[in-house]
Amino acid sequence: MIAFLASAAANPPPSESTQQAIGYPSLFFLVALGSLVPVVPTGALVSSAAVVAFHQTEPVSLAVVFGVASFAAFLGDVALYWLGLRGVRSRNGSRWLHRLQDRVDNTTLEKAQNRLDQHGAAVLVLSRLIPAGRIPVMVACLLAEMPMRRFVRGDIPACLAWAASYQLIGILGGSLFPEPWQGVALAVGLTFVIGAGPTLVRRFRDRRS
């Protein structure tokens, strides 16, 4: 998807409608998949799509990118939480629940549980904005057996804030350079730096200790 956006930005197709017909469904599918299986760089996808939309002539392009990204992220979150909740309520758990728990160390999970106790479902918004913060908070919600309705109410503003944040990165990249591919490169670089930040900080602390 990122390669497609970069190619489209460097070599715009004859028709924007053709690009949108391919790009929007791809964006939706990959963001939803990345929310369900946390391996796809969804933030970079949204930022790159925002750069391309920023340079298009249709004024609604940015709004469509925002809507598609936030809705896809929401559906992926809800599907993943539903699968995990089934595991919590099952005697032997489930592979989805076990995979989520394997991705979270005890210290991080304890911090997420404390935040959940203090702020309730509102912590979902912060978890979406902090790199690598979504899964620990989701596991904390699962272990607390938060009802699906309550999770949904907290996840809606979380996904909206997440999509808006990464779209702003894309708009920034698009506004700084005359060529869309340059903005895509900057947006992708920024999102990967943001995503790698917590890991680098933890490694630095471990070395000092």
Q: Which of 20-29, 133-142, 192-201 bottoms out in mean pLDDT, i.e. has the lowest? A: 192-201
The predicted structure's pLDDT at residue 5: 47
Distance between CA atoms of residues 203 and 209, nearest Å: 10
Q: What is the mean pLDDT of residues 61-88?
A: 93
pLDDT value at residue 8: 45
Q: Residues 9, 12, 16, 19: is their CA dihedral positive or negative?
A: negative
Cα separation, 2 vs 166, in Å, equals 14
Q: What amino acid is encoded at 139 in this protein?
A: V
Q: What whole-number distance in Å separates Cα of residue 160 and Cα of residue 146?
A: 21
Residue-wise pLDDT for 82-119, tens only, equals 999 988 877 777 788 888 888 888 888 999 999 999 98
In three-state form (DSSP H/G/I as H, E/B as E, the rest C), the secondary structure along 105-172 is: CHHHHHHHHHHHHHHHHHHHHHHHHCCCCHHHHHHHHHHCCCCHHHHHHHHHHHHHHHHHHHHHHHHH
Rounded to an integer, the average pLDDT of 5-23 is 53
Count of all residues that appear for the chain in the document? 209
**Token pair of 46, please?**
């949204």
pLDDT of 29-39, one tens digit each? Answer: 999 999 988 77
CB 122 within 8 A of CB 91: no
Higher local confidence (pLDDT), 110 or 186? 110
More confident residue, 115 or 208: 115
- Quote the pTM value: 0.79
Give the least confident one: 89-93, 189-193, 197-201: 197-201
Residue, of 183 and 170, whose pLDDT is higher:
170
pLDDT at 114: 92
Tell me which of 14-28, 65-79, 188-202 is least confident. 188-202
15's CB contacts (< 8 A; 6+ apart) are none
